[in-house]
Chains A and B, each alone.
Chain A
């Protein structure tokens, strides 16, 4: 089991309230991602769940029991840290066995569990090495191994991939997703990278300044962002926002169009502009188009190769079905 409920929890550091009253329900077996810009309180929220920080008020329930006052080790949660937090003076084996040793398990049982975890994580050949002798990805796996052996009610990941290079990050992303498929344990994952959130999550929690902006599946957030912040944060490249005459014709304060929902033409279309920069990736072409009355260039994503160059005149047509409308509060108009 791994059901976690946050009821009206708040957190203040001194006089600064970093998390205003917040409610959240995390169901058993779910892969939940907390995503938001740095300083949005997502790591603090994770640390509150872990018990590494006290809540200022409110209640944290784990599997129906009030765990607000329970020390971290007794909550049945395992955590994978951003820096991996491996014990540098212990071998991989001892690292993974440490929580079992603290729980007072006997040596044989410890070994059996460590071997099993090592097998799952492809670490069998490295068990007697020190963390310093491992690559970034291997260290990451040791940290996960240390979490797995405890058979926790839920795994907590604090930006676990941010110290890896881009290629490795994609690999580890897949491995963690696979692990979730295998174990079917609740996982709470913190990241500032919306790509990680979109690819891994069953449920995304978008945070800003300690406030939950929206909770939903990746596609819900993509298709029906609740406000401009979520709309701009989810999706890559970012959504284009237009104001003034561009939006008033749609009866909104501002409108948003994703780069992939704009078609281009040399001869006709709704918006006329000039190509600033074009980036050719082979599979896609990104065009940055300056149109009249809009300060930031409009990003357009076209599939395949399109024959536009710097300075070319271009016509853009947004897909009318995919235009997001926002009111003067930045909230979605449905």
Chain B
């Protein structure tokens, strides 16, 4: 049972938590604020917080100069595509392991997890070489496949832990009622697992969107997503803070919103179901 807490204590908690929360959030807030300043205001000393001439010109310039939309589109295709593909492959696999477990199921799950732990840099050159040979370097398709593969273990694990919570009797009832395997998965399992599938999709889009090893090393001009777009700002030419901020804000905004929606499921996904 929760107990009544004194207002005084609650006030202290509130002030402390908000102070720390704002401190942690400050770099993001500062980036967003700076994106609305002129370049001169952006580096003003003392720093300007709210009282400056708000402007949208940075956003216009970023889009104009660097074709932000193209990178955004690449990010959407790669993150969305790899997630969708992962779900299509992951749902049947997770169904098998959750509802028709065998002696080897646990080993297979652990092995899948172990592939996730392979350090990317250890296989960088082989993948690079294969990509050149197969003509996949700097293509959205190639990157989609790689991101799908690196996140597939997480997808299967998350789906597995969600499926595990669905009583097997319900699927058996459907089987008794004459549903085929396809109907069983389509009409019974999937609708029941929608919340779990949705959080799996969400987490996976976030991971794919922010992936910054393969996206930097396997793309150039054509298929580069937002991670690479931002990295191109790392060699500065003069005053550019406001534009950097505008570009950054545009790159993180979509995922920040998605992330806030999925925060509860995040824990389960990132700990492979070990913490719920």
Contacts and interface: CB of A to CB of B under 8 A. Distances in A.
Given A99-B178, A102-B183, A79 B192 contact: no
6 contacts: A74-B178, A79-B176, A86-B173, A98-B187, A102-B178, A146-B173
A81 B178 contact: no
Given A87-B188, A89-B192, A98 B174 contact: yes
B164 interface: no
A82 B169 contact: yes
A78 interface: yes
Given A88-B192, A89-B191, A89-B192, A73 B167 contact: no
B188 A73 contact: no
A136 interface: no
B175 A52 contact: yes
Contact of A102 (B167, B177, B191): B177
Given A83-B167, A85-B167, A85-B170, A103 B176 contact: no
A260 B188 CA distance: 51
B169 A73 contact: no
A310 B178 CA distance: 60
Interface in B163-212: 167, 169-170, 172-179, 183, 187-188, 191-192
A50 B192 contact: no
Nearest to B188: A87
Interface of B: 103, 167, 169-170, 172-179, 183, 187-188, 191-192
B180 to A, nearest CB: 8
Contacts, number: 58
Contact of A85 (B103, B173, B179, B191): B173
Could you tell me the dominant secondary structure of chain B's interface residues? Answer: helix
B176 A73 contact: yes
Given A14-B103, A71-B175, 20 more contacts: A52-B172, A52-B175, A72-B172, A72-B176, A73-B175, A78-B176, A79-B173, A79-B176, A83-B167, A83-B169, A83-B170, A85-B167, A87-B173, A88-B192, A89-B192, A98-B174, A98-B179, A99-B176, A146-B173, A150-B177
Interface of A: 14, 50, 52, 71-74, 77-79, 81-83, 85-89, 98-99, 102-103, 146, 150
A293 B273 CA distance: 57
Given A87-B188, A88-B192, A99 B177 contact: yes
A305 B173 CA distance: 49
A142 to B, nearest CB: 11
A86 B183 CA distance: 16
A103 B188 CA distance: 16
Contacts of B175: 52, 71-73
A52 B169 CA distance: 10
B202 to A, nearest CB: 20
